[in-house]
Chain A
Amino acid sequence: MVVIKVENLGKKYIISHQQRERYTALRDVMAKGATRFGKKLLSPFTFHHSPFTDSKEDFWALKDVSFEIKQGERVGIIGRNGAGKTTLLKLLSRITEPTTGRITLKGRVASLLEVGTGFHPELTGRENIFLNGAILGMSKTEIKKKFDEIVDFAEIEKFLDTPVKRYSSGMYVRLAFAVAAHLEPEILVVDEVLAVGDAQFQKKCLGKMEDVGKGGRTVLFVSHNMASLRTLCNIGIILDKGNIIQLSEIEDAISKYTDITRVRDEVFNAIFLLNSQGEQIDYWPSNEPCSIEIKLSDILVNNIKAVDISLWANDVMISSASSDRLQEKTKFSKSDFVIFSFPIIPLATKTMYIDVGFRSFDNSYLNLYQRAKTYNVELNVNQFYVDSRLITQFPVKCEIKTDAI
């Protein structure tokens, strides 16, 4: 049975752009202002286009989106930032109205777009459970019935009567999620809120969401975490710039998405993995140190201040390093190679990948390539489990070598 039917859904926003006139003198500003005022006096009802008027542009956050979801399906919604995922969730939750198209829903929708919606810092944990529960749509009796379960899930029994403003961020988030996790709607819509708390709690949250899914409810889940999408969902929808690119089995969707966001070839070819002898290898060594060499190209060189690299396995960051934190050179030429040297990092996973970012002088990323390169990991005799915390104890070295060519 179809529980969510979306037909030609579209949402348009109007963005205004400030007309920037470079007036250096106050006199000019006043003169322009006076002219405009004079015109307005003479003909008050006509629209006078003036340099101060903002120009407007239509922005379609979602355009012509159509799909159907059956009862019990768990759908993962994937897409880059700005693809329209949150807008879609907001439309499904009735927070905002569509510009075009129609949504037909069967059953109650509960949406979690943010943890702790409505939490008031002055109120205690106990009071906020009631407040938040009511805001999310639970009745007073429902909340009372589930109260103990909620407190148990959040593990904050000791702090129930302290004002929430005194909670640590972890406690806050645990409590917020605990209330939301005990909603029992027919359709549950969740927006990236699982990226909170420590790994143990994340596992608990994911487990709870799986229970919700198994109970025959329909779940819509937005996330950037491919591993949790894989565990939780059976269907994936890829959104890009407001359109649906694909609706398919989750594995299919994840690999298509990874393809789309993969780095362009030129950067792909500029990254080399070397073993301790300086020879190029194509697998990550588990028993010897290695290094990653990045050849800088023409395009990037003048604008970048630093190169950042991070190593990942199983969607968990193992190590990260920045060239400007490990050595002093921040001006590069096109014949430079940035070399990051890593100690022995024994991994228990089959593959690992790296993100490479080129950072400009205002500390924003000129280019950030996630999953720039993926490597198979050499089988490791000693099994080490990678903890979910960022391990910064691995001493990474960085140096810049210039090619004499």
Chain B
Amino acid sequence: MSNSSQKKLIIEAGRTEGQYWKDIWSYRGLFYFLAWRDILVRYKQTVIGIAWAVLRPFLTMIVFTIIFGKLAKFPSEGVPYPILVFAAMLPWQFFSNSLSESSGSLVGNANLISKVYFPRLIIPTSSVITSFVDFLISGVILVALMVWYQFVPGWRLITLPLFIAVAFAASMGAGLWLTALNVKYRDFRYIVPFIVQFGLYISPVGFSSTVVPEKWRLLYSINPMVGVIDGFRWAILGGDVRIFWPGFLISLALVGIIFFTGIWYFRKTEKTFADVI
């Protein structure tokens, strides 16, 4: 018989619990297990298994290089083209994957939500973690590329974690909003792929932010990924790449707002998930 400190728990309509954040700590193992489950399942019954995790970004990079670098001959600003592509693709892939995965995560785990208790915040977070693992693997390819081209990044590389954190917050914030809304209004299942597609065109993945005319700069910077991708390019490529700081600060503020309101909305509607899902 365990000798736990008999902590009292009160369950009541409308009562918010400070208990919740303590619960997240005690269920922290679930972050790992749910992400582990999603990654494992991907490669079950495949022949080359986890090698796919490396192969996919690698092949994408090759295709992009051939098409945009050799055939379309986009300018590369003195940096080997594959690295240029990768520096922008990395954060974009992370964001679009986390957004897609986390926005459907609650509905996808409906069987858990209706039968077991654990803080539901763990579910979309573990989707983002899964995408983060993919991001890290692609990051390894980037490092390999740099070694191959003998490209040495400048001191600015140290700031990379900051931009990663912003990307994380952006995908988590948007993911929380969308997944909570999707539980009740299933329309979002159709809206999200559209957002991701559209986002690809208005984010500086296929182009550089410098092509955007001055008068639109500020409006353009409302897209949070603009700040993140420009930041990645700035940190990794060094040299002449510049960040438009006012725009970046707007992005940052927006990401912060989306993140905190996302958590608020999620917590507010969390109690109704099991009834509505």
Contact = CB atoms under 8 A, between A and B. Distances in A.
A95 B116 contact: yes
Given A107-B4, A111-B117, A135-B116, A127 B9 contact: no
Given A95-B114, A95-B117, A137-B118, A106 B10 contact: no
Contact of A122 (B11, B36, B45, B272): B45
Given A94-B11, A97-B13, A106-B6, A131 B37 contact: yes
Interface in A89-132: 90-109, 111, 113-114, 117-118, 120, 122-123, 127, 130-131
A216 B274 contact: no
Given A117-B116, A118-B111, A131-B37, A139 B8 contact: no
B216 to A, nearest CB: 33
Interface in B253-277: 271-272, 274-275
Interface in B203-221: none
B203 to A, nearest CB: 34
A160 interface: no
Interface stretch (B26-34, B130-138, B150-158, B180-188): B26-34
A96 B271 contact: yes
A33 interface: no
Contact of B116 (A13, A108, A136): A136
Contacts of A163: 44-45
B22 to A, nearest CB: 12
A117 B114 CA distance: 10
A117 B118 CA distance: 13
A216 B30 CA distance: 28
Contacts of A90: 274
Nearest to B44: A122
Interface string B140-174: 00000000000000000000000000000000000
B111 A117 contact: yes
Contacts of A101: 12-13
B40 A98 contact: no
Contacts of B112: 117-118, 135
A60 to B, nearest CB: 14
A140 interface: yes
A90 B272 CA distance: 13
B1 interface: yes
Nearest to A215: B1
B1 A216 contact: yes
B2 interface: yes
Contacts of B33: 130-131, 134-135
A186 interface: yes
B26 to A, nearest CB: 8
A102 B117 contact: no
Contacts of A184: 2
Given A135-B33, A184-B2, A217-B1, A106 B116 contact: no
Contact of A134 (B10, B30, B271): B30
Contacts of B44: 122-123, 163
A137 B27 CA distance: 7
B47 interface: no
The size bracket of the interface on A is: 35 or more
B70 interface: no
A120 B6 contact: no
Nearest to B2: A184
Given A91-B11, A105-B8, A118-B112, A135 B1 contact: no
A108 B1 contact: no
Contacts of A97: 11, 13, 271-272
B115 interface: yes
A95 B117 CA distance: 5
B56 interface: no
Contacts of A117: 111-112, 115-116
A98 B11 CA distance: 8
B8 A13 contact: no
A15 to B, nearest CB: 12
A93 B115 CA distance: 9
A113 B115 contact: yes
Contacts of B1: 215-217
Interface in B115-130: 115-118
A243 B27 CA distance: 34
Interface string A385-397: 0000000000000
A36 B2 CA distance: 64
A140 B2 contact: no
Nearest to B9: A105
A120 B45 CA distance: 14
Nearest to B28: A139
Given A104-B10, A123-B37, A163-B44, A134 B29 contact: yes
Which has the most chain B C-beta neighbours within 10 Å: A92, A109, A117, A134? Answer: A134
Which has the most chain A C-beta neighbours within 10 Å: B36, B41, B113, B117? Answer: B117
A160 B114 CA distance: 28
A394 B119 CA distance: 53
A362 B43 CA distance: 46
A98 B8 CA distance: 18
B47 to A, nearest CB: 15
Contacts of B275: 13, 96
Contacts of A122: 40-41, 44-45
15 contacts: A96-B271, A104-B11, A105-B11, A109-B117, A111-B117, A120-B41, A122-B44, A134-B29, A135-B33, A135-B116, A140-B29, A140-B32, A163-B44, A184-B2, A217-B1
Interface of B: 1-2, 4, 6-13, 27, 29-30, 32-33, 36-37, 40-41, 44-45, 111-118, 271-272, 274-275
Closest 7 CB pairs of A and B: A97-B271, A134-B33, A103-B11, A94-B117, A122-B44, A96-B274, A102-B12
Given A102-B12, A120-B41, 8 more contacts: A98-B13, A106-B6, A108-B4, A113-B116, A122-B45, A131-B37, A136-B116, A216-B1
